[in-house]
Amino acid sequence: MDIAIDLGSDRTRVFIENKGKVLDEASVVTYDVDTNEIFAVGDKAYSMIGKTPLGIKAVHPLDSGVIAQSDLVEDMVSILLKEVCTVKVVMPRVITAIPCDITEVEKRAVVNSVSSFGVRRVYLIESPKAAAIGCGFDITSPHGILIADIGSGTADIAVLSLGGISVSKTVKHAGNAMDDEIVKYIRKKYNLIIGTNMAESCKKAIGCVKAPDEEKTFRVKGRDAVSGMPRFVDVTSSEIKEAITEIALGIVAAIKDVLEKTPPELIGDIYTDGIILTGGLAKLSGLARIISESTKLKVRIHKEAADCVIAGCGKSIKYIEEVEKPKQKGLTPILAAY
């Protein structure tokens, strides 16, 4: 049995060969600060953020696409995999996605976290490659593809050809950074302190980076910074646009940087096909439009944008044998095996 894992800053997804995607849970762990005992992981732990008593913490152990608290990630992966791997006859081989700009130490942290479950071998693939495969592209062909995988922790932008990455750039300010900016904006403008979960709900409901055709409102609830009493305010989509546009423009600038460094022949392919957006943030209202206006290229959003990486990791399982038998000639998108 072979397994694919997408360890995202916001969500952890698991794909099992011949079964498809079997798990999609929040990348959150709730634990006791003194004893390190795990109380909950996944969606159950996510519902506890900001609501835990003293001595108990609910945290995202992954930050900006890399592991921030390795022990917690190991526990989270082991617990989640035990939920879906009920029968463990042999140690599985695992393929997992990583950001493009990642150090050897950060790679090893990912490998160690996944290995804690007891696996035979771990294979790494860059997120844009997995996303492109998940979209149905043949990345082993000599045809340029520009894909921007925009998630909560990072935005990975890469030009792919012949199974490899020609040019890439990783932006470490994406969806989670937008949530933080919304929290700061509401505090500054309304003297209202809200949590990141409330900010994320607001972003999903009315978030946009272009002037909306129809103004929407969302009620945010929190604590008054002056009186300390509970209070709510109704914020508009234009206000949220003001809070998050700067981060969106940073992603657009990174895409333009990648295009400027791309070889001319590959640019020709990209001009024909356009830019493909994947990841949970790809469907943010107006994001595709500002990318298109800035680059003068057509931009397409995959209909299952959030699941492209895990789907690509699952499809990449077939390349494991080529890595195991290097004498077999062929292009493989898998970056490394550990």
What was the pLDDT predicted at 82? 85
CA dist 179 → 66, 194, 266, 267 (Å): 18, 10, 35, 34
For residue 300, give the 3-state DSSP assignment: strand
What was the pLDDT predicted at 119? 83
What beta strand segments (E) does the chain contain?
2-7, 11-16, 20-26, 29-32, 38-41, 56-59, 62-63, 66-67, 93-98, 121-126, 145-150, 155-161, 164-171, 192-193, 217-224, 230-236, 275-278, 299-301, 336-337
Q: Is pLDDT above 90 for 292?
A: yes
Other CB atoms within 10 Å distance of the CB of residue 319: 20
Sequential DSSP letters for 261-275: HS-HHHHHHHHHH-E
Q: What is the pLDDT of residues 98-137, one digit of tens each?
A: 988 888 988 898 998 888 777 888 999 999 999 999 999 9
Share of the chain above pLDDT 90, in %: 67
Share of the chain above pLDDT 70, in %: 97
What was the pLDDT predicted at 332? 80
CA dist 169 → 68, 111, 137, 159 (Å): 21, 22, 20, 10
Q: What is the pLDDT of residues 25-61, one digit of tens each?
A: 999 999 999 998 999 999 999 999 988 898 999 999 9
Residues 62, 150, 251: CA angle, nearest 5 degrees: 110
Other CB atoms within 10 Å distance of the CB of residue 35: 8
Q: Is pLDDT above 60 for 88?
A: no
Rounded to whole angstroms, the Cα distance separating 176 from 42 reads 17
CA dist 203 → 101, 121, 241, 245, 281 (Å): 27, 39, 9, 12, 10
Rounded to whole angstroms, the Cα distance separating 296 from 290 reads 10
Strands of the sheet with 230-236, listed across from one edge: 192-193, 217-224, 230-236
What was the pLDDT predicted at 50? 87
Q: Is pLDDT above 70 for 282?
A: yes
Lowest mean pLDDT among 19-28, 70-79, 148-157, 327-336: 327-336
From the list 337, 332, 280, 284, the residue with the least C-alpha distance to 309 is 280
Mean pLDDT within 94-99 = 92
Q: Which two tokens stand for residue 78?
A: 């082991």
Q: What is the pLDDT of residues 301-327, one digit of tens each?
A: 999 999 999 999 999 998 888 777 765
Contact 94, 4 (CB under 8 A): yes
- What domains can be seen in the chain, in order of their start residue? 2-132+311-337 (3.30.420.40), 137-173+250-304 (3.30.420.40), 175-243 (3.90.640.10)
Rounded to whole angstroms, the Cα distance separating 257 from 114 reads 33
What was the pLDDT predicted at 284? 93
Mean pLDDT within 269-287 = 94
